[in-house]
Structure 1
Amino acid sequence: MALPGTGQLARLHQSLDQWFAETARDLPWRELDCSPWGILVSEVMLQQTPVVRVLPVWRDWMERWPTPAHLADEPSGEAVRHWGRLGYPRRALRLHAAAVAIRDEHDGDVPDSYPELLTLPGVGTYTAAAVASFAFGRRETVVDTNIRRVHARLISGHALPAPALTAAEMRLADALLPEDRPLSVRWNASVMELGAVVCTARSPKCTDCPVRSSCAWLAAGEPPPSYTPKGQSWHGTDRQVRGAVMAVLREAATPVPREMFEQPPADLGFAPSGVGIPLTALHRLNSAPEQLERALDGLVSDGLAEIHDGGLRLPA
């Protein structure tokens, strides 16, 4: 793999910068008046989750908790409740913990540097770099799945990046990052956007690509990937059962007796207010008793639920 020369790299920067300025999606966390808190929330929500699902939840959170202090003053269970069906609800707990740390240790302001952002609970290298770049205009190397895929095709000539992030990919991303700080921020955003809407994993729209003439993968004849990506299963998995249990807890105003999860409400003759529909959905899964037990115990162990008055509820 040969890195682009100085002139070619400058043309790549310019081409993607112009394309992004003309075609970028109008997303609220890209607005000039979006707060660093709003950008942090968006980055956590967008992990492994499509924009279309994140948008309504992000807007609800920003209206409900416009600052970290607003969220920190609520029980962590409220963050889980209003996480809705985004999936991976431990992200909601991490955001709540980060909000508490921002309130208590940073005077309510999101830290503005990569090292400080890394000290927040649940904030890893990607999120710290993304927030430092997009919220504060720092020159940081941002590498997510979309960026990795664009780099793999455009520069390395591979259909897909390696199954897991490698040191070589980080070195490549560092080498491609513009020296100019404002341009580096736009480069991060534009490459990410290109991977999300054009250079997609399954059906890339190469005719719409602004840098197709420089693409090593196209030049090589679009060789197939060297491995078959494993899709994440859902139906019948522990994750599906956990999600169904969480749907019940989000709707419950009072602790839900454990037997409610184990037997249909009609068999027991009662049900807490508001949980009839999600309970019915849970029982339609016909999950094995041991799978349901794993789900219930795992949610308690992960801090997503707690035992209270003999039942389960969201954490207080």
Structure 2
Amino acid sequence: MPGLAAPLIAWYRDAARDLPWRREGFGAWGTLVSEFMLQQTPVNRVIPHLEAWLDRWPTPADLAASAPGDAVTQWANLGYPRRALWLHRAAVEIRDRHDGVVPRDVDALLALTGIGDYTARAVAVFAYGDRHPVVDTNTRRVLARAVEGRAQPGSPHRRDLERMDAELPDDLREAAIVNAAAMELGAIVCTARSPRCERCPLATVCAWRAAGYPESEDRRRRQATYEGSDRQARGAVLKTLREAAPSPVPLFAVLVDWPDAAQRDRAIDSLISDGLAEAEDDQLRLPR
């Protein structure tokens, strides 16, 4: 068994958080929705939205039968609302191309709207039990420290998949556990700013610890300040549209008190460009 696998498996069986998408029978559709929601969003914010989403749309066909604007409304304050639009489009594609069943094949998953390397492999592994490397930001940090002896990972690269693949056992179930365990370790122990090395199951094999915790360049992209940003203006416009849905809002009434009129107009234009809003007869509404 590869060097990281045994300690990760043993640790995960005792330390893994009880999360909905890790429970038996959760299903491929639930896994896909959870992965969309978890992108750049904390777990504790995702869980109630995920449960409400699956109650309303328990299958891809159910979501596909609804208007895109319904998906944007249901997304509420999760942030990055284009994910809701992409998830709706993916549901339509699953209904039309795959008879309403989330595909198992990675290439078929990659062909769906809004799905990249991580999400495609996560669905194939965690929903269907196939053997693939699943690499997110947390996994990359664990590999950088434990294998490469670096404090922070470099820029994302295809070789990250190769490195993770080298750590996976041949056994399908054990390989899935190692994938999940590496992500879990990076999320709650081997964190970016305050790693809890005294609690780490990889302490005895960690190259970074053995080298004396050397500093390395932090190449993580910094999130721009939200307050006063175009993102905040976009979110405020969408909130207005969600509250009015399914009715449209007169353009002159959208964020009339927003302190920067040019920023408000940029927000409206960008939402229309992204397909998150529609303008018609001097009115703005969610997509239909």
Q: TM-score, normalised by structure 1?
A: 0.87
Report what 2:251 is aligned to. Answer: 258
Aligned-residue CA RMSD (Å): 1.4
Report what 1:207 is aligned to. Answer: 198
Quick one: distance in 2 between partners of 1:58 and 1:113?
24
Shift of 1:262: 4.9
Quick one: distance in 2 between partners of 1:45 and 1:130?
13
Residue deviations 1:183-221, cap 9 Å, x none?
111110010100011111111111111111111111111
Query: Do residues 75 (structure 1) and 47 (structure 2) align?
Result: no
Report what 1:175 is aligned to. Answer: 166
Q: Helix, strand or coil for the counterpart of 1:307?
A: strand
Report what 2:284 is aligned to. Answer: 312
Q: Helix, strand or coil for the counterpart of 2:191?
A: coil
Quick one: distance in 2 between partners of 1:258 and 1:16?
55
Residue deviations 1:65-90, cap 9 Å, x none?
01111100000110000101111111
Residue type of the alignment partner of 1:171: E
Are 1:255 and 1:308, in contact at CA under 8 Å, matched by a contact in 2? no
Report what 1:244 is aligned to. Answer: 236
Query: Do residues 291 (structure 1) and 263 (structure 2) align?
Result: yes
Change beyond 3 A, Cα 1:55–1:312: same
Structure 2 unaligned spans of 5+: none
Quick one: distance in 2 between partners of 1:62 and 1:109?
15
Residue deviations 1:132-191, cap 9 Å, x none?
0000001111110000000000010111101x2123333212222222211111110010
Shift of 1:33: 1.4
Quick one: distance in 2 between partners of 1:108 and 1:230?
37
Report what 2:273 is aligned to. Answer: 301
Structure 1 unaligned spans of 5+: 1-5, 265-282
Quick one: distance in 1 between partners of 2:37 and 2:133?
20
Higher Rg of the two aligned structures:
1
Q: How many residues align?
A: 286
1:186 aligned to which of 177, 182, 186: 177
Residue deviations 1:240-292, cap 9 Å, x none?
1111111111111321111112524xxxxxxxxxxxxxxxxxx3xx2x22211
Residue type of the alignment partner of 1:258: L
Quick one: distance in 1 between partners of 2:89 and 2:231?
23
Are 2:153 and 2:219, in contact at CA under 8 Å, matched by a contact in 1? no
Are 2:134 and 2:161, in contact at CA under 8 Å, matched by a contact in 1? no
Report what 2:35 is aligned to. Answer: 43
Report what 1:103 is aligned to. Answer: 95
Report what 1:218 is aligned to. Answer: 209
Residue type of the alignment partner of 2:146: L
Residue type of the alignment partner of 1:295: A
Quick one: distance in 2 between partners of 1:37 and 1:87?
21
Are 2:146 and 2:205, in contact at CA under 8 Å, matched by a contact in 1? yes
Report what 1:157 is aligned to. Answer: 149
